[in-house]
């Protein structure tokens, strides 16, 4: 069974991550969902637990696994990491090497594993030179980006920043999985 970490961050597009989790599960992936605190404001861990039949991780320090350093064991087991949706915040943290929650510490612990990032944010944020510099930096380290698309955004403006179509994200995951087999 192929193991994937699905990182879900605080974006209105988080609801689409539920569809991604379900599709990944149906295709035979063992889906380990890690949600940021902000993501839980948009969609609940119960949704992902129901769709993947697995625990959902939201906290760094949990007594459920006293003999297991969970962010390390998840990182070691992952064949692919997907962050969808990825906010400007998570992109900035990763570019700066900040590990202050379950998702960032797990990703920082990943070695020789493809990390796919599907951004979703307001056009102004997407076009911000700091965000673009962070993306360029992460690409230099081998992180792969799934380009956002142009659409009417949650702020009711038309622009680039909408999460890529679910099928396009699935294609990128399949391609990355083929590289690790």
Active site residues: 155
Instruction: List Cβ<8 Å contacts ≥24 apart for 48-54.
Output: 48/6, 48/8, 48/17, 48/18, 48/21, 51/18, 51/21, 51/22, 51/25, 52/21, 52/22, 52/24, 52/25, 53/25, 54/30
> What's the rounded Cα separation, in Å, for the pair 64 and 62?
6
Residue entry with tokens 């995951």:
173
* Token output for 149: 């698309």
Q: What is the DSSP letter of 39?
A: G
């Amino acid at each position: 069974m192929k193991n994937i970490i699905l990182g879900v961050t605080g974006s209105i597009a988080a609801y689409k991550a539920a569809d991604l989790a379900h599709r990944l599960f149906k295709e035979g992936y063992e889906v380990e969902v890690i949600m940021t605190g902000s993501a839980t404001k948009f969609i609940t861990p119960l949704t992902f637990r129901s769709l993947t039949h697995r625990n959902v991780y939201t906290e760094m320090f949990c007594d459920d696994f006293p003999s297991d350093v969970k962010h390390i064991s998840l990182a070691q087991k992952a064949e692919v990491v997907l962050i969808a949706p990825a906010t400007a915040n998570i992109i900035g943290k990763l570019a700066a090497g900040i590990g202050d929650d379950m998702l960032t510490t797990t990703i920082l612990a990943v070695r020789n594993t493809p990390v796919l990032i599907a951004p979703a944010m307001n056009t102004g944020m997407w076009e911000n030179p700091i965000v673009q510099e962070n993306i360029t930096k992460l690409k230099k380290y081998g992180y792969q980006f799934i380009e956002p698309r142009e659409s009417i955004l949650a702020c009711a403006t038309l622009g680039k920043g909408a999460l890529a179509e679910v099928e396009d994200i699935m294609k990128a995951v399949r391609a990355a999985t083929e590289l690790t087999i």
